[in-house]
Amino acid sequence: MRWDIFCKVIDNHGDLGVCWRLACQMAAQGDSVRLWVDDGAALQWMAPTGHAGVQVVDWRASAAVLEAAAEAAPDVLVEAFGCDPAPELIARFAEAGSDDRPPRPWINLEYLSAEPYVERLHGLPSPVFRGPGEGLSKKFFYPGFTTATGGLLREPDLTSRQEAFDRAAWLSAQGIDWQGERLVSLFCYEPPALADLLGQLAAGPVPTRLLVTPGRAAREVEAITGLNAKSAPYVRGALSISWLPYLTQQDFDHLLWASDLNFVRGEDSFVRAIWAGAPMVWQIYPQDDDAHHVKLAAFLDWLGAPASLRHGHLIWNGFEAGPLPSLDRATLAEWRANAQSARERLLQQNDLVTQLRGLISQKS
């Protein structure tokens, strides 16, 4: 099959990360994919070697759009996160589908949520009443955490790769002189409790190495500590800090597998942290209407989060004031058991690609 996946990069890398993983999984199963993206610069470090079967096309290049509009239309069109694909390509898709029985699938891939409405809307049609796609119908595809949703992206060999992962070897390859101390990864926006986290780790009884990702996380740690990410590793009390380079998607997974506690943000890293099965604190993408408050609460409800983990999420996201919960061994053991239980539940469900293929095979 031939797929066109459309992605617009808003202000971070999560949308592109999700779409790249989806495209690669489709290609790994023998399909060909064109990934249309308006800013693919992050793929230079996210996926520097590309992937066989995936063609990245600059959505802003009018010549590429016109060339594609003159070629055969894809078998499936995926519009990621309501990004409004190029009208010329929608017109070509509609034209090619006019003689098909049934029409070619147009999938509206939505953001991940555990809220109840996801189960109600997943798989429903959305007729198109205007524009070049008039007369066609999209299908809503909602990723989620239950069997009534579209599931989560998960490669078939994910668990076997994780079981074979050598933490010490990977850390050594990153130039990190690990001596058995606790490892905490930091991928965040600008959480109000970050200074509290750094202080707690420094004053705590457990030697801890904070693995700081580049970009917003590194800049915020620099602002709090007065350090420079290009400087030597920082040591203060029980806390040492190592600055990471931009990681490929595979190495970002390795970072999450290597760490004893993961602070993640957005959607793509959030899902990968779930599969890591380690304790995790999620900084949800903020929305102007505070809809992210409800979204976070729905996830914590599905997770069955212990009280300390729920409280930690509220503090980390700035929904409540006060110090973070103590990150002692007992607390992290409870969080780990909760994370492992959630991971096992999800492994019993079909992954997103399997469910997406099932949806497009439906006759109506």
Mapping DSSP to helix (H, G, I), strand (E, B) and coil, where does residue 267 land?
coil
Q: Is 267 a catalytic residue?
A: yes
Residues 6 or more apart whose Cβ sits within 8 Å of residue 2: 31, 32, 33, 34, 72, 74, 75, 76
Q: List the structure tokens of 27.
A: 């290609």
- For residue 318, which amino acid is it? G
76, 360 in Cβ contact below 8 A? Answer: yes
Identify the active-site residue in 15, 31, 79, 268: 15
Nearest to 146, CA basis, from 120, 168, 127, 169: 120
Alpha-carbon distance of 161 to 154, in angstroms, equals: 12
Q: Which helix (H) or strand (E) holds 146?
A: none
Identify the active-site residue in 75, 267, 268, 351: 267
Q: Is 15 a catalytic residue?
A: yes
Alpha-carbon distance of 217 to 185, in angstroms, equals: 10
Alpha-carbon distance of 49 to 282, in angstroms, equals: 29
203, 238 in Cβ contact below 8 A? Answer: yes
DSSP 163-211: HT--HHHHHHHTT----S-EEEEE--S--TTHHHHHHHHHHSSS-EEEE
- Residues with catalytic annotation? 15, 267
